[in-house]
């Protein structure tokens, strides 16, 4: 579903991605980890059609990027650590705006269902500017999945969340995985990321340095693996 082959991204003379190879199968949940400056958000922005790679091949759902960006955008949902919601609009109005952009049929029913799913039905008429960090992330998930995308992209979705909000987000992501969505998530929390995902990929110095399946490593051992890779 997501395929990156020898992807390079440079800003002037500064290389950020140095030949990334990463393949994510349909319905697979992959967590991407790595130190600050490794290129994680740059890689995510390329998959999300927000950046063009300098070179290399990028395909989502079989479509090449950036040539087929318009088609790909209909099939992806993006959740960032920045909510990117309209704070003066209510929760329902934010989702209604998204529904209009995607020209979704049965928009009202979809919006109410999405708000129930993320536990915000009772707050549907409240301005988003009054929401807590956890509520913003739940609404962002609702917006990202409103059009039922095949691919869900999450860039540090746990940033600033307390324990209760993190647990709610865990539950939402597990539900999306059960629905068969292909999920690529960036997080700094190794144990958390491994617990949710089918596979963990470590990005270091602009390359995928190691990949490991959840079934092949314990939560405790993943910290040793990360330290081994990033100390090379």
pLDDT tens-digit map of 133-156: 889 988 999 999 999 999 999 999
The better pLDDT of the pair 232, 181 is held by: 181
Q: For residue 117, give Cα distances in angstroms to 49, 173, 218.
A: 27, 11, 31
Q: What pLDDT score was predicted for residue 167?
A: 86
Supply the mean pLDDT for the chain: 93
The phi-psi region of residue 49 (left if phi > 0; otherwise alpha if psi is between -120 and 50; otherwise beta) is: left
Rounded to the nearest angstrom, the gap between the alpha carbon of residue 145 and the centroid of all alpha carbons in its chain is 11
Query: pLDDT class for 110, splitting at 50, 70, 90?
Result: very high
For residues 96-110, give the mean pLDDT.
95
The phi-psi region of residue 83 (left if phi > 0; otherwise alpha if psi is between -120 and 50; otherwise beta) is: alpha
Cis amide linkage into residue 66, ω under 30° from 0: yes
Q: What pLDDT score was predicted for residue 232?
A: 62
At the top level of CATH, the class of 2-75+149-230 is: alpha beta
Query: What percent of the chain shows pLDDT beyond 90?
Result: 75
Q: For 32-70, write each residue's pLDDT tens digit.
A: 999 988 999 999 999 999 999 999 999 999 999 999 999
- Alpha carbons 232 and 215: distance in angstroms, whole number: 25
Q: For 113-128, write each residue's pLDDT tens digit.
A: 999 988 899 999 999 9
Domain boundaries, the chain: 2-75+149-230, 84-148
């Amino acid at each position: 579903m997501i395929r990156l082959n020898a992807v390079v991204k440079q800003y002037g003379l500064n290389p950020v991605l140095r030949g990334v190879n990463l393949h994510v199968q349909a319905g697979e949940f992959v967590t991407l980890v790595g130190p600050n400056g490794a290129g994680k958000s740059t890689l995510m922005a390329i998959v999300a059609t927000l950046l063009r790679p300098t070179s290399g091949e990028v395909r989502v759902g079989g479509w090449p990027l950036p040539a087929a960006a318009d088609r790909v955008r209909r099939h992806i949902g993006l959740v960032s650590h920045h909510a990117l919601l309209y704070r003066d609009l209510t929760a329902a109005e934010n989702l209604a705006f998204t529904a209009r952009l995607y020209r979704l049929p049965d928009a009202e029913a979809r919006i109410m269902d999405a708000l129930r799913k993320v536990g915000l039905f009772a707050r549907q008429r409240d301005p988003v500017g009054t929401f807590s960090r956890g509520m913003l992330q739940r609404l962002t998930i609702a917006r990202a999945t409103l059009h039922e995308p095949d691919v869900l992209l999450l860039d540090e979705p746990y940033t600033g969340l307390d324990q209760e909000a993190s647990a709610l987000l865990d539950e939402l992501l597990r539900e999306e995985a059960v629905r068969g969505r292909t999920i690529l998530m960036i997080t700094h929390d190794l144990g958390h990321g491994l617990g949710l995902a089918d596979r963990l990929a470590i990005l270091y110095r602009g390359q995928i340095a190691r990949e490991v399946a959840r079934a092949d490593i314990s939560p405790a051992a993943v910290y040793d693996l990360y330290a081994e890779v990033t100390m090379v």
